[in-house]
Structures are given as C-alpha cells and as structure tokens.
Structure 1
Amino acid sequence: MKLAPIVKTFFCLFGAIGGGALGFKDSHVNVGGLDGHWECLGSVDVDPAANRDFARLVGTRATDMDLMDREQYVAYHGHEPPPGWREATPDDIRRAAGFRRPNAVFLSAPCKGFSGLLSQAKSLTAKYQALNRLTLRGVWLTLEAWADDPPELILFENVPRLATRGRALLDQISAMLRAYGYAVAETTHDCGELGGLAQSRKRFLLVARHIAKVPNLLYEPPRRPLRAVGDVLSKMPLPGDLTAGPMHRVPQLSWKTWVRLAFVEAGKDWRSLNRLAVEDGVLRDYLIVPAMHNGGLGVRRWEDSTGVVAGQSLPMNGTFSVADVRFQQRALWRDGQAYGVRRWEDSTGAIAGQQGPGQGSYSVADPRHTGPAKHSNEFRIVRWSGSAMAVTSAHGTGQALADPRPAWDGRHGHLHVAGFEDTSRTVTAGGKGVQGGHLSVADPRPTAQGRLFTKYPVAGWGGSSGTVIAGDDCGAYAVADPRTSMSPDRAAYLTGGHLGVVPWSSSCGAVSAAACHDNGRWSVADPRVCDLVQVAAMPAANDRLVAHILAEDNTWHRPFTTLELAALQSLFDPEDPIEAAAFQLDGTSDQAWRERIGNAVPRASARAIADEMLRTLMLADAGETFQLSAAPVWVRPVAAALMLAQGEEVCHG
C-alpha cells in the first residue's frame, strides 16, 4: 500500500515572476519512505505584469498589492497616493493566501536601495530609504498575519550589501523574529553553487526557524561547481531562430558597438580595446570587410534538392534560385517576343487583334527625332546663332532660345552684391529683398565687431566672455570646460565590466535586472555559425542592426538574448524544446522582460533550498530531532536553540 505524499505549503511576499516559487514546486524529497512536495498558496507583488507572469508560470494566483505604508509611499513617489489606495494589512496577506496558513514564507524584497550598483549617497535619499523599509514592513506583515499560528520557516533573500547598508533594518528584523519565537541565522551564498548554474550570483539569506515547531536542525544545501555558459546556451536554438519566439531575438545594436564587441577579447571587457592602435580615427592593423555568404546568388540544378528555406530567402543571401528546364509560352505570347522592338529596316509580324507592346513585337526603333511636321516646334530650343521657326498661333511651341547673356542684367541688378567701396544703386519701391536690386554688400569687416549679437558662441576656457546682457537667448553663455565630473581613476567605471565578453567555456556573472551589453559582461564569444543577412556596404556608425562579425578568436561576440538570460536563471529547461518555446513573459518590451528576469530568484537555487526545508519539516513531523549531516547548519544548533527558548520562557514568565 502506497502512502499518501506529504504536502507542505508556502507563500511568497514580493514574489515577482515566480522564480523562487517554481523552485519550491520542483522540490521533491523522500524521508523514511514518504514522499513530500510543496504547494503554493499564492504571492503578493506591486507589479501587475510580474503577477500575470507568476500566475502563468507557477499556476497560482498572485495578488496586486502595494505593501508600503502612506509615509513610505509619499517618500518614494513624491506625491500622495491616488484615491482608493490604502495601506496593506495582515488581513490582506491572509486573504492573498486564501486564508490558509503556510508552512514556509519566502520573501525577496526590493534590493535597489542596498545594491552596490547604486551610489552610497543616492542610497541615503528619502526615496530609497523608503524602499529599503519594505524589508521590515514585509516581515512584520507576515508575522502579524499568522501570529496565532506562525509559519515553521521564514526565508528572507536579498543582496549581500544588505548586511552593511541595511544593518539597522536587519537588526530590527532579527529582533522581531526572535520576539515571535524564531531562531535566526544570517548567511551569504552563491546561487550558482547551490543550483549548479552557469552564473555566479552572490546573495544574502536570512533563515528563521520557529523553535517550538521545528526543534531539529536546518542544514545548508550542498554546493556544486559552476557550469560553463556554453553548457546552457548550446542546448538552445541559435539566437534569432523564429521557433524560439520573440524573446530569443538578437538585440539591435549600433554598428560601432558591434565593432567594439568584436575586438573585446573573450573573458575581458572594454579595457581590452586599449591595446588597439588607432590612427586618424580608424584601426591601423585591422580591416573589416563584408563576408560572402555560402551560395550567394546561387542557382540550384533542377534535379538537386534545395537548402533550408530561411525566414528571408532571397537570391542575394543563398542558393534560392533554380535552373527551370520547363518553358511554356503563354497563348498571348505565341511568337515569344513580348515587348519586342522591330528594327527600322525589318518587317513586322502579323497584325493581330491585340496589339499592345506586352503582347508581341509591336514596337519599333524609330531613327527619326523631329516627329511630324506640324509638331516640329514642340519644346524646341533655338541656338543663339540660328534662325527661329515660323511664328504660329500656338503659344506653347517653338518659342525657346539658348541665350548666352547673363540671366540678370545690370539694369535691375537682381541678386547683385555691391562692393564695399562702391556706391549703391537707387533704392526703389520694389526693393523688398536681396533679389530685388543692389541690396547686398560685400562687407570686409570681421564678425567680431558684432560680438554682442553673436548667437550661441562657445567661449574658450582661456578667453573672456562677452558682455552679460538681459537677453537670455544670445551672447557668450557657453564655455568649453576642460574639467569633468568623473574622478581621474574612474574606479567605479573600471570595475563595471562594461562591454565585457564572456568565454563560451566560462560562467557568467549574476543576471541583474539592468543586464545590457554595455553595463557589464553581458556578451558571449559564441563559436557557432549563425547565418544572418549581411549588406554589401559597411553600415554607418550609428546604424542599428544585427551584425555577425567574426572576432580574432573566430567566434561571434554577441549580447545574450532575453531568453538566454532566462535560461541562465534556470527559469526553464533549455534541453526541453517545448518548454523553451512555451516560455514567454507578459508584454512585448525586452527591457521590461530583462528587468523581471534579473529580479527573479534562480529556479534551481530555490529548489536546493526548498529541498532542505522540506526535509527538515518532514523530520520534525516524524519526531526526528537528530540528523547526521556533514553540511553546515544554517540556524542555531538544536541544543542551544532549546536553551534559548527555555531562557526566553523564563524571562517572559
């Protein structure tokens, strides 16, 4: 007789698109012959698009809810909330969970204010301090929602810098959890090592275990070696493959960015470009030329098979022409001379009932040019030295002359420019413009004399400015300032990995919400050949396109596609073509997709954590308070935890 599986429930605060929830749902553990798995009760997030993604991917309803209080809302948004807005309450959290109590709660609050990508000065502003306080408010809402029957385990995930920038908030969170009967541990881990990913993603994790309900230990998941980027991407279709959907399209970058990426050595970033020799604005030692595609303008034999029919099958980009042995004359083209032109000295064919130029040889090469006599003056131009044709009553024929004289004579002086030392002509009533007479002058005086009226000049750093006048749209109000606001060492920029290219055999960095080719190592040296349409001429520097440039290492240095970033986050299995083709996020914006993917918890890492939590809960249900394991303990050892609990009971008594 097979025993029914043990089902534990979990709930997500700040659940985003459900990366963590997917990991929990993937978790299956066998303890003492009993199978266990997780059931999701729901999620809460302020982003409606992320909630729609959660519902589609996880299969559980996600609730649109702003967890800020009014003070936080005003500080973050800079204005009062709209009509109908109200602060979330613990009852709202219970309602979002279907009024069921979860065994575990997973929180991943917004981390922008704690991230190292944000400057220290900006993180201290009222806006980001309000965002940071969501961590404290989220934990408080969770504890109050189920204060009478607390969840057994609470996980709080964020960036590692939370332990320093958010120390005060973290101390309050830990104190609050202990007050509700939890043992708390603060740890840092690499999601890539927990989930065996192809990225290194350092994260902070606070684990809280309710001492009375879970007396046994909670151990850390085992660590695995990082994988290579190529291990994941090689399982997917080539970028740009239409079968993989719009999220797998290659970003259109400017031509100059493609060239820069091509010359960045794999494993390095933009500083690799410093080794290139540039003279007169061009590379001295390299030349980029268009590549001829295999089979360009190719013609297939009638008895041969064709190649793969691509999305843009044109004669110029492949063998998409055929030597057709069939020839069937159309009934209207019996003589095979449609649009035929007869020579002047030849005879024509039979005059048929249909005599259009497209239906036979019904045109003639006429050597005569003047045409019939009665129209011999049509649009005719008479030479200055010749005689005119007969003057007829027709006003539109034969009345044109090739006049060698200047078009503007001195009598009227149209568009005339007078010398500075000459006298001007008579000012007439019709002189309303430079075309009406001698109304222009060749002024030899320098323009500096009109300096007060010079529009938009830029003063040199070593020169003096013009007079400061009341007019705000003219004068020397700009300066060529040689100073820059950047520090000389540019330390923050030098360590950002801008335009970095990751080798195919290496792992990438953490997939962030702002992942783009020019703000980190978000390009890869792809050794696979991808047939992309190329133009014969070199594009302009700022032309946006998809280019395929073979770099020095004979690979294509290209940015990750949005779908590849999702695969690196283990949000779907790239080896399953059906699952990969079905993965699609809400909307059509690559920028919004990438932000939500970067905010997600890696699915495989969440599963590793969920496995250990599920095993601990199942052992607690079975009364097993001891487990032999070589893995580090995540929270306080059981003996010390019990002592702490007893001490707390004495204090409260």
Structure 2
Amino acid sequence: MEKTYKVLHLFCGIGGGSIGFANAQENYRGIQGKFENICGIDVDPEACEDYQNLTGNRAENLDLFSREQYIQFHGKQPPESWEEITPGKLRKIVGDIPDVIFTSPPCKGFSGLLPEASAKTQKYQALNKLTVRSIQLILEAYSDNLPALILLENVPRITTRGKHLLEQIKQQLELFGYAINDDRNNYHDCGEIGGLAQKRKRYLMIARNPAKLDAFVYKPPTLKLKSIGEVLGNLPLPGQGKYGKLHQLPNLQWKTWVRLALIPAGGDWRDLENCDWEKYIITQSPGPLSVKVSNPSTGFKSDTHHAIYRVQKWDDTGKTVTGAMRPNNGAPCIADPRLDHQKGRYTNKWQVLKWDGQATTVTGTQDIQAGAQSIEDPRLTCSPRAGTMGVQKWDEPSKTVIGAGDIHAGSAAVADPRIPEETQQGVFIIIAEDGTWHRPLTTLELGVLQSLPLTLYSGEPLKLAGNSDARFRERIGNMVPPAAAQAIADTMLRTLLANESGEWLMSGEEIWVTPYNENEYAEVQGEVDYDS
C-alpha cells in the first residue's frame, strides 16, 4: 500500500524545504509513504525560478502582504497591477488541498544580524507581520478541510522580537482546533538533525490538527556534525570546475588577504589586536618598494560583529551560513589546506622512475603533476632547449617570444617585483603560518554547506537565476537546508503513517508535539510551573 501526502510551501525561497520533503520516504507496517509538493509561493521572482529549476515543481510568484503592510514596507502605494491575495484566491491558485503546510517567513526583522533599532522600524514590523497574515490566510482558505500539520520555521530570536506575533498565531491556530508545541521544545539545530557541516539553530512551531492526526510528533534523531573539510574536500579548488561564477573568489583588497593570513584558523578580527605585527614584513630588495604590514587592528571597533574576518578551521564544523558577501561584513572564510592542487595527496607526483628498476602501477593519468610516471632515459642524444622552465629577470630584455604557452617549453615566467598596493584588488594566495590558504568561501561552497544539491532537477550543473552574487548568497543563506528539511519531513511522515494505521508512534526521541493541550500535558507530566 502506498500513501502520498501533499505539501504546500509558503515563502519557499529557492526550494530547500521542498527538496527535503521530496526526499523523505518511510515504510510503516507495510504502508509506503512519501510527500508530494503541490507548489511553492514566494515574492522573489528569481527565487521562484530557482525553485522550479531545483525541485521540478511549480512556483507561484505572489506577494502575501496586505495592502496596509505593503504600504508600510515599501513606503508607497502598490502599483495598479498589484493584487492583494485573499484566502479564496490562495486556494484557487494552489489547487490541491494540502495535508501539510510548511512556512518559512522572512526572518530579517527577527534576526540578531539586524540592529534592534532597525528591527523596530515600520518597514521591518510590516515584514514580521507576514508570519501572522500567512497563517490567517491558510486557516481561512482551508477552514472546511484543514491540513493535518502546519509548520512555521524561523530564527530563534522570533520568540523574543516576535513574541507578540507568535501569541497571535497560537491564538488563531487554537481557535481552529490545533495543538501546538510549546516554546521549550521547538528549537533545533539544522546541523544536528541534518548531519550538516554547520551549526544552524532554528525555531520550529508545529501545529497538529487532532481531527486528522491524533498522535505524538517526535523530534528527529541527532546526527554527528561533519567538518567543513569533509563536505568541501571533494569540490574543485575555487575557479576550477563547471560551476562558473558560483565557484569564484571575490576580488578583495591586498590588505584584506594579508589580514586573513594573519588571523589564526578558528579566529576572527579580534585576534589581530594581539598580533605581533612588527615581525610580518613584506619587502622587495633592491628597489624603491617596501611594504610593511602595519597594525591590522586599525579601524576596528570593540563592538564589531564577531563574524567579521572569521577564519574557520578545515576540520571543524562551520558557523551558520548567512547572506553576507565579504570577510569584512561577516562572510565566513576557510583555512584551506589543499595547496598546490592538493599537494601531497599522491606520492607519485612528478615521479621519475629508474631506467634499471621496476615501474609502479600504470594509471590513467596523462599529466606528470597528477601522477603520470616519467623515466630517467639514458639514451639522451641532445640537451634540453635553453630557457625550459626559465624565469626571466624584470630589468632585462625578454627572450624570443614563441608560440608555446607552457612555461615548461620556454621562458614564459618573470620575476615580478611589484608587490600589490594595500588597496589593490584581486585574488592573492598568501600562505598563512599554519601552511594553509586563508580565503573566503565561494558561493558554491556556502550552498554545499547548506546541503544544496550540485545539480538541478534536470541533471545540469547547479546554477542560480540572475547575475548578482550578493543575491545568490542571500537566497542560499535564507534557505532551509534540504537535509534538515528531510529530517523534519521524515518524522512528520512517520507520524502520519502511524496515524493511518490507527496507531500511536512510539519512539525514544524527545516529543515535539503531544496530543494534549498545554494544561493537559502539564498535568500528565506532573509539571507545576509550565512557563518556567
């Protein structure tokens, strides 16, 4: 027997939640269960394009603001083409009746990355109110056939900055008969439930419809966090491979690269204040240019965000992926040990075999740098061409320019004395004292840390809509990690299938939602102070 449950995704973004739900599959007492995504809804047209490309499902580009909220957020009246979505319109656009609704409303107004003063402005308060309006739309649209589960995912700070909004949402849900998990049990770490290589604390409100689902909802099991290197180690180095702009490093100022090299792995800008900077001197001699790295802590304030210039360790779990663009505004960096194209991985790199010895295993490589074998052939009748692997002097005339583009074939290298100015931008490889390259994470790598697939639904290499790397990163940072979404979907699916069999699912995991209301649950558990 097979049972399919249909899911509607509000504020779907690029589809992390949908990918996770689509990947969930469970078998309970002979019943094979799965989820089917009806569609995703989002106000961002590029996110909708990404959603369709990544999930293969329909995306509806809709603004869920009320007219009043639109004016508060944008500071002006909406255009004539704008249309306020009503419960009836929402139901008509969606089509199928959902069994589960997964919502992940905008979290900017709730996030600690936004200053408190900004969070209190009319603009962000209007954005925050989308949490209440979306639930209201759902309940009224499906009042005659309410979903079994309604999920609201967001940042943990929603319980403080948005406490009054959550109370309104709970009141709405309880009015329609839903049982809701209490605030002590609805925090989770996406990394732990999804087995990710990042720590990502989130909030999840789960509303269960007892008329359709009379069973416990348990938390997913906790998995071991991976290290950054475990996840990124199989990717090509930045600038290589088939992912184009997604896997390119930003052009940073020379002084930024120097700062990153001076920060120890696992540290951030605060470590620069204790740096013995006088011993770090970059010079060119003889010549007029002499560059000394001055105190790199200049220009920082004591209240600067801790994520600025943070260099993460290759073998540690990463911090939460956000939409930050550059190291000096919070984008994470990594101490990458894969220098010289993963130097040291193969013992037969540049290997030269003895003429009178035995060969080692023949492989399919064709480049001596990658492990192809060379031989000391004694039958040499000529000398190598002059200039092979030659490095020419900066202050002397060049050798004859030939058609070969490989430095092995002629003097195609030069000793360039021009150390970059501190404000000059580019991609510079500076080896830190720990022997690694401290560099920013590429957009592709941030996506992989979020468990974003490397291929589209069509099988083509990953690409995102538009041309703005800042927009790419924002959408990736806002995404629910598919692996974490699947962990949530798995436990929801098990509960639904058990209910299908007329049973209560039993598990050793912590309970997310009980079949009782708050007061009843307090009595059953013998708890006196339920709000502690």
Aligned-residue offset at 1:521: 5.9
**Letter paired with 1:632:** E
Task: Say whether 1:558 aligns with 2:370.
Answer: no
Larger Cα Rg: Structure 1 or Structure 2? 1
- Looking at structure 2, the residues matched to 504 and 557 of structure 1 have their Cα atoms a distance apart, in angstroms, of 10
Which 10-residue stretch deviates more, 597-606 or 78-87? 78-87
Alpha carbons 2:55, 2:457 under 8 Å: kept = no
Q: After superposition, what is the alpha-carbon deviation per residue over 1:37-80, rounded to whole angstroms, capped at 9, x for unaligned? A: 11010011100000000011111111111111111111111111
- Looking at structure 2, the residues matched to 622 and 257 of structure 1 have their Cα atoms a distance apart, in angstroms, of 60
Tell me the secondary structure at the aligned position of residue 157 of structure 1: strand
Aligned-residue offset at 1:531: 6.1
Cα distance change on mapping 1:530 and 1:174 into 2, 3 Å = farther
Aligned twin of 1:540: 421
Tell me the secondary structure at the aligned position of residue 20 of structure 2: helix
- Looking at structure 2, the residues matched to 516 and 579 of structure 1 have their Cα atoms a distance apart, in angstroms, of 31
For residue 125 of structure 2, the aligned residue among 129, 149, 155 is: 129
Summarize the alignment of residues 145-224 of structure 1 with structure 2, pairs less than 5 Å apart: 145-185=141-181, 186=183, 187-224=186-223
Task: Say whether 1:629 aligns with 2:507.
Answer: yes
- Looking at structure 2, the residues matched to 254 and 489 of structure 1 have their Cα atoms a distance apart, in angstroms, of 20
Aligned-residue offset at 1:276: 2.6
Aligned twin of 2:345: none
Tell me the secondary structure at the aligned position of residue 79 of structure 1: coil
Task: Say whether 1:597 aligns with 2:479.
Answer: no
Q: Where do 5+ consecutive residues of structure 1 fail to align?
A: 278-282, 291-485, 645-653
- Looking at structure 1, the residues matched to 64 and 96 of structure 2 have their Cα atoms a distance apart, in angstroms, of 20
Identity %: 44
Alpha carbons 2:310, 2:330 under 8 Å: kept = yes
Cα distance change on mapping 1:643 and 1:538 into 2, 3 Å = closer
For residue 617 of structure 1, the aligned residue among 488, 496, 499 is: 496
Aligned twin of 1:141: 137
Cα distance change on mapping 1:288 and 1:579 into 2, 3 Å = farther
Q: After superposition, what is the alpha-carbon deviation per residue over 1:573-627, rounded to whole angstroms, capped at 9, x for unaligned? A: 6xx8999971111112111100000010001000000001111111111111x22
Q: After superposition, what is the alpha-carbon deviation per residue over 1:252-277, rounded to whole angstroms, capped at 9, x for unaligned? A: 11111111101110000011112234
- How many residue pairs match? The answer is 434
Aligned twin of 2:40: 43
Alpha carbons 1:237, 1:244 under 8 Å: kept = no
- Looking at structure 1, the residues matched to 112 and 22 of structure 2 have their Cα atoms a distance apart, in angstroms, of 31
Aligned twin of 1:458: none
Cα distance change on mapping 1:11 and 1:80 into 2, 3 Å = same
Q: After superposition, what is the alpha-carbon deviation per residue over 1:283-329, rounded to whole angstroms, capped at 9, x for unaligned? A: 42123479xxxxxxxxxxxxxxxxxxxxxxxxxxxxxxxxxxxxxxx
- Looking at structure 2, the residues matched to 230 and 100 of structure 1 have their Cα atoms a distance apart, in angstroms, of 43
Task: Say whether 1:506 aligns with 2:316.
Answer: yes
Tell me the secondary structure at the aligned position of residue 205 of structure 1: strand
Cα distance change on mapping 1:32 and 1:641 into 2, 3 Å = farther
- Looking at structure 1, the residues matched to 31 and 68 of structure 2 have their Cα atoms a distance apart, in angstroms, of 49
Cα distance change on mapping 1:22 and 1:42 into 2, 3 Å = same
- Looking at structure 2, the residues matched to 535 and 189 of structure 1 have their Cα atoms a distance apart, in angstroms, of 54
Aligned twin of 1:113: 109
Aligned twin of 2:453: 572
Tell me the secondary structure at the aligned position of residue 279 of structure 2: coil
Tell me the secondary structure at the aligned position of residue 188 of structure 2: strand
Summarize the alignment of residues 3-82 of structure 1 with structure 2, pairs less than 5 Å apart: 3=1, 5-82=2-79
- Looking at structure 1, the residues matched to 325 and 458 of structure 2 have their Cα atoms a distance apart, in angstroms, of 23
Cα distance change on mapping 1:7 and 1:117 into 2, 3 Å = same
For residue 529 of structure 1, the aligned residue among 325, 333, 339 is: 339
**Letter paired with 1:284:** E
**Letter paired with 2:128:** N
Aligned twin of 2:392: none
Summarize the alignment of residues 415-454 of structure 1 with structure 2, pairs less than 5 Å apart: none
Cα distance change on mapping 1:578 and 1:264 into 2, 3 Å = farther
Aligned twin of 1:367: none
Tell me the secondary structure at the aligned position of residue 518 of structure 1: helix
Q: After superposition, what is the alpha-carbon deviation per residue over 1:7-35, rounded to whole angstroms, capped at 9, x for unaligned? A: 11100000010001100001011111222
Aligned-residue offset at 1:144: 1.1
Cα distance change on mapping 1:262 and 1:530 into 2, 3 Å = same
- Looking at structure 1, the residues matched to 63 and 89 of structure 2 have their Cα atoms a distance apart, in angstroms, of 11
What TM-score, normalized to structure 2? 0.78
Alpha carbons 1:48, 1:64 under 8 Å: kept = yes
For residue 585 of structure 1, the aligned residue among 449, 464, 486 is: 464
Summarize the alignment of residues 221-240 of structure 1 with structure 2, pairs less than 5 Å apart: 221-240=220-239
Cα distance change on mapping 1:239 and 1:577 into 2, 3 Å = farther
Cα distance change on mapping 1:119 and 1:85 into 2, 3 Å = same
Summarize the alignment of residues 382-401 of structure 1 with structure 2, pairs less than 5 Å apart: none
- Looking at structure 1, the residues matched to 271 and 80 of structure 2 have their Cα atoms a distance apart, in angstroms, of 54
Alpha carbons 1:75, 1:126 under 8 Å: kept = yes
Cα distance change on mapping 1:618 and 1:641 into 2, 3 Å = farther
Q: Where do 5+ consecutive residues of structure 2 fail to align?
A: 285-298, 343-412, 523-532
- Looking at structure 2, the residues matched to 530 and 542 of structure 1 have their Cα atoms a distance apart, in angstroms, of 26
> What RMSD, in angstroms, separates the aligned Cα atoms of the two structures?
2.5
Aligned twin of 1:471: none
Aligned-residue offset at 1:636: 2.4
Aligned twin of 1:450: none
Tell me the secondary structure at the aligned position of residue 242 of structure 2: helix
Alpha carbons 1:215, 1:638 under 8 Å: kept = no
Alpha carbons 2:53, 2:456 under 8 Å: kept = no
**Letter paired with 2:310:** G
Task: Say whether 1:285 aligns with 2:284.
Answer: no
Tell me the secondary structure at the aligned position of residue 8 of structure 2: strand
Alpha carbons 2:47, 2:475 under 8 Å: kept = yes
- Looking at structure 2, the residues matched to 535 and 92 of structure 1 have their Cα atoms a distance apart, in angstroms, of 68
- Looking at structure 2, the residues matched to 570 and 287 of structure 1 have their Cα atoms a distance apart, in angstroms, of 41
